[in-house]
Amino acid sequence: MVYRRLGLWGLALGAFIGSGPAVCLAVPVNLTGFVEKDFPSGGGTAESGKVFTQEVTSSPTTIGQSSWITQNGWVSGWNVKDIRFSYGEDSAGNNSLAVGFNTWANSSGTYAPFGQANGDPSGTPTAYDPAHLGAGTPTSDKSFALVIAKENPTDPTKPGEVVAIAGVPADKSLNGLGTNGYTVSQVDLNRSSGGLAYMFGTPMNKYLGNLAYDPSPSHPQLEFTVANFKDLVGLAPGKGFWVTAYAGSGLDGVAGETYMGWTYVSGLAPQIGVPEPTTVLAWTLVVGGFAWKARGRKAKGVA
């Protein structure tokens, strides 16, 4: 389910502690910045293998946007149509999860860069809409977040322990080592009042992967990877994992934000990928329960 503004969310969490040596990352798909090409719905192609697709919004205006954006025939770069997942593993056991946030095309069949709030397909930055997700300016809180949880051994209808959050933080002081500040981190329960965008904690660089591109007109959609994914969630044949997601800004004032509620991802068939190096950091996940709510603040109202 998708909300313009989210109410209170709660989930009891377990504990997860781990460390390990640096390994190579098996990239499951060829990432080009065009999600529907790279993650064909239904999967089964030699290039992409099995793809899991979860619908997020039902129309190009679901999250709400200023009337002048619609009149221009544009669609806000925060409106995520669906999120797609593909898992890759090579013969040496190196593995990763690739994720694509598939935004809506505009009336001309082109995309605004992911995060371009006003939907301008040229990607022209404005004072309220800086060009880059990782921009460290006081006026930028652009963020996307994917929270990852294990299966629940006692209740398969609900998420189990939360093990990581991947994305670009709203608080740019928490930016990671990846492109545009991309990071895979622990979930910081002390920052839950700010919503998912603010819940990035200690980096978990063993699982970093990378953001494929700084979204732009030539690579407009969001694609990223999480390394060592099998270890992170305990992935095994017949098993899946849970995710919840956010994309948006509380400051742009011209468009809403996208939320995806908890979703169970299953049935991903591994395929051979291309190795690339990654780094390592010992890590610990906080134990406890948390509740979060989306930010209800906007610098301006949406027309």
pLDDT digits 0-9 by tens, 91-145 = 888 899 999 999 999 999 999 999 999 999 999 988 889 889 998 766 789 999 9
CA-nearest of 157, 203, 145 to 11 is 157
Question: How much is the pLDDT for 269?
Answer: 59
Of 298 and 228, which is predicted with more confidence? 228
Which of these ranges, 19-28, 152-161, 242-251, has the smallest mean pLDDT? 19-28
Phi, then psi, of 12 in degrees rounded to 5: -80, 130
Query: Is this prediction's pTM over 0.85?
Result: no
41: Cα separation from own chain's centroid = 18
Three-state DSSP at 12 gives strand
Which of these ranges, 11-20, 43-52, 135-144, 237-246, has the smallest mean pLDDT? 11-20
Are residues 246 and 259 in contact, defined by beta-carbon separation less than 8 angstroms? yes
DSSP code for 108: T
% of the chain beyond a pLDDT of 70: 76
Q: b/e per residue, 37-60, with b = 16+ CB within 10 A? A: ebbbeebeeeebbbbbbbebbeeb
Task: Work out the average pLDDT over 168-183.
Answer: 95
Token output for 22: 């640096």
CA distance 10 to 162: 12
Within 10 Å of residue 19's Cβ, how many Cβ atoms? 11
Distances (CA, A) of 253 to 69, 242, 298: 12, 31, 6
Are residues 243 and 147 in contact, defined by beta-carbon separation less than 8 angstroms? yes
Q: b/e per residue, 237-253, with b = 16+ CB within 10 A? A: eeebbbbbbbbbbbbbb
* Residue labelled with tokens 């529907």: 36
Residue 72 identity: N
